[in-house]
Chain A
Amino acid sequence: MATRVPPGLLDGARSDVGGLSWIGYTTAHLVHLGQTSAVLEAGGSLVPVTHPATGLMPGGVCLGTATQFGRLRSILSGATDSRVAGWCGWAGGTRVDLGLSAAPAAAEAVDRLHVALALEPVPGPTWLVGQVRRLRASAPDIARLACRLDSRLDVAVSSVIGAGPGSTPTGDDVLVGVLAGLRLSDRGHAVRHLSSVVVRHLSGTTRTGAHFLLAATQNRFAEHVHHAARAVCDRASVVPVIAQCRGWGATSGIDLLSGLAAAIPNPQEEAA
């Protein structure tokens, strides 16, 4: 028997205005239950349901309070059936636009961010450390090829997409970061070029990775990406942003930030 979401659990919840294709489906399936997020599937779409501290994800729902998330988690962890019902009639609560707009980068912030990221250690076994570093190091090349509309971007993306640890592999996080960085620096032609290549290669990654990559090509980024973007605009935000990013998965936050930083041209160098 399907597990029922009780009335009131969605009070105060927010959803991604660009990712409501699952609205109207009365039953979802539980794909994964974590400490701060539950991933559901409805109508062929993934729906990340998150704790307020995690923030809203593309195509997802962010619950209004920690207590509500705790209640949902408790209900789902005790369920014997993967089906979740009770969404019928819910219209998405407060709808949030997860699009990133162009923002001026600060030279000091960008410099500081690059130095801090270079010093950032990678957790995990030695063989994995090298792999993650290689994937992060590929970000500047990908950004450059995208900006030059270079056809070699296809090969570069295919070697990165789906690569690395986790259900959203490191390479995917780096690519989401590059797409965010290109959006922030207002390089629409590069965004379009990279997006078209990424979409062609989505079958090379996991379903979760593809979900977030596709959203990024449509200019929908998780709220934590919006927070991370502060690091390139304000020097004082660099340390707190890096500290926050360390908390997203094993390496996801720093992978994403590495991609984002690589796609931001240093304003001083540009002026020169």
Chain B
Amino acid sequence: MSVVRERIFSRLYRDSVELMAIASTLERAEGVERVGAVMATPANLAILQASGMLPAGLIAAPDDLVIVVRAQDEDAATVTLEEAEQHLAGGDVPGSQPSGTVLHTIADAMTQKLPPTLATISVPGEFAPIVGEQALRAGLHVFCFSDNVPVEDEVRLKAIARDSNLLFMGPDCGTAIIDGVPLGFANAVRRAAVGIVAASGTGAQEVSVLLDRAGAGVSQLIGVGGRDLSGQVGGAMTLFALDLLQADPSTEVIVVVSKPPAREVADRLLHKLDAIAATGTPVVACLLGEAPQVRASGVVVCGTLESGAIATADSVGLRLAPGDAPADTLAGWRAGPGRIHGLYTGGTLASEARLILRDAGAPCTIIDLGDDQYTAGRPHPMIDPTLRSDHIAAAGADPDITVLLLDLVLGYGAHLDPAAELAQAVIAARQRASEDGRALLAIASVCGSPQDQQGLPAQRETLLDAGIALAPSNAGAARLAARAVGVSS
């Protein structure tokens, strides 16, 4: 028999984001069935009553915050209410704060006994330039995860960084590994001799996990933000990061990963890479969409992430052959009319798939759900998969879609069990398609290393159990999708 208990906080104002985070977190505790954190307005009390959550004899006013817990026993309810009270008293959101001292400003951080050398910024985009500039002025390297930052601010902040001999990684920087310390979504990969400069978060992740699979490893992975090689930013941080890698004693091979750069910036970048190669350092330029070539200087230019990883492994004497999914992966599937619908959480993975499918002539729509337009005011889909699940549900009802093409990205900052959510969404979409008399095929690749916290084998197994066809790389998944609609890539 469940018990319902409450605690009232008189005239307490708390942000709704905070209250929902508290309720969601407490609801996951053992023995807890449901937690409500609402203002005690008559309408909310009526809702609590309708859902069996209104404690008997509750007396509260509309400006009172009431936390209600329905739990399996008295102990679970009491513990949960006490935990809620602690969160509210501290003004903290469970799971969002590190343990230990909480510092509110850059100035506070600089007064610590052991001052920091790097700041990570993930405040909303309109505030990020302010905090970024404060950090640079305090002499800190910056890893700026925030997106929706105006390009003018990016140009200005990168100029300040270069003048101060500091890195400004970002904005919208998803991944970095500096001296072995992972930042953002980075994967748990080996440390070794490959230095990566990436204007592409998931591109760098895909290359680093493929290298890890080959037995190679990463010395430094410097993210520079997706716009760094645009005409406006001019590669400011990429060129600076290359200087740092050249001077780094642990780096023996250099790789640049990017979506297609602006033409004039690509020329400047390749000129710089030629100069590095002339010193004897092997260099791979993995520039999506560029025609593959080996330049006179020895710089290897590759047009996909997969070929970039293969060339890099080769340069350190290792063999990498991700290849394609087994021939029987599509057994029983009959290619029919319709298109491939790519729903990606990784922007560069989406770009790579788009290129491969375009070259193959396969009908497709590819959506990058990590793009600024989808992430303003909400977590990145690699952290919160809800948005993609909604899009997958909509795809299940669309008669024009026959193949869903998906990525699953693991890593330090990513969702702890993304496969479970993805599998559930795909099963529901396939069920919906089946009710309409259609077949819907789902194809995915997993960008992750065996050391990642989510557990690579378990994640793969969850997807396979849900009937999702798996390819060994993102490029392989795109090729498999092309085959599934009857196009040879």
User: Which A residues have a C-beta under 8 Å from some C-beta of B?
Assistant: 31-32, 34, 36, 39, 53, 66-67, 70, 74, 77, 119, 121, 123-125, 127-128, 131, 158-169, 171, 203-209, 239-240, 243-253
B15 touches A249 (CB 8 A): yes
Extra inter-chain contacts (12) besides given A124-B24, A168-B16, CB under 8 Å: A34-B15, A125-B35, A162-B43, A162-B62, A163-B47, A165-B19, A166-B19, A167-B13, A169-B44, A206-B39, A244-B376, A244-B377
Interchain residue pairs A-B with the least CB separation, the first 3: A246-B377, A162-B41, A166-B16
Kindly report which residue of chain B lies nearest to residue A247, judged by CB atoms: B377
Given that A121-B390, A125-B27, A247-B377 are known contacts, is A164 also in contact with B44, CB under 8 Å in the complex? yes
Kindly report which residue of chain B lies nearest to residue A166, judged by CB atoms: B16
Kindly report which residue of chain B lies nearest to residue A161, judged by CB atoms: B43
Q: Could you tell me the distance between the alpha carbons of A167 and B387 in the complex, rounded to whole angstroms?
A: 25
Closest CB of chain A to B60's CB: distance in Å?
12
Closest CB of chain B to A247's CB: distance in Å?
3
B43 touches A124 (CB 8 A): no
- The residue in A239, A245, A250 that gathers the most chain B C-beta atoms within 10 A of its C-beta is A250
B377 touches A243 (CB 8 A): yes
Is B384 an interface residue when CB atoms closer than 8 A count as contact?
yes
B51 touches A171 (CB 8 A): no
Chain A residues in 8 Å Cβ range of B386: 121, 123
B372 touches A243 (CB 8 A): yes
* Candidates B15, B27, B44, B374; contact of A162 at CB < 8 Å: B44
Is B113 an interface residue when CB atoms closer than 8 A count as contact?
no
B13 touches A31 (CB 8 A): yes
Of the candidate stretches B124-132, B252-260, B398-406, the one touching chain A is B124-132
Q: Could you tell me the distance between the alpha carbons of A253 and B24 in the complex, rounded to whole angstroms?
A: 20
A131 touches B377 (CB 8 A): no
B378 touches A246 (CB 8 A): yes
- The residue in B19, B43, B63, B394 that gathers the most chain A C-beta atoms within 10 A of its C-beta is B43
* Candidates A165, A209, A246; contact of B37 at CB < 8 Å: A165
Can you list 17 contacts pairing A with B, beta carbon distance less than 8 Å? A39-B13, A66-B127, A119-B394, A123-B386, A124-B24, A127-B51, A131-B47, A159-B46, A162-B39, A167-B15, A168-B16, A204-B62, A205-B62, A206-B62, A209-B41, A249-B16, A250-B15
- The residue in A163, A244, A251 that gathers the most chain B C-beta atoms within 10 A of its C-beta is A163
Chain A residues in 8 Å Cβ range of B35: 125
Contact with A along B51-63 (1 / 0, CB 8 A): 1000000000011
* Candidates B14, B20, B23, B126; contact of A167 at CB < 8 Å: B14
Chain A residues in 8 Å Cβ range of B41: 161-163, 169, 204-206, 209
Q: Could you tell me the distance between the alpha carbons of A265 and B128 in the complex, rounded to whole angstroms?
A: 38
B17 touches A250 (CB 8 A): yes
Chain B residues in 8 Å Cβ range of A119: 390-391, 394
Chain A residues in 8 Å Cβ range of B334: none
Chain B residues in 8 Å Cβ range of A66: 127, 130
Contact with A along B343-378 (1 / 0, CB 8 A): 000000000000000000000000000001110111
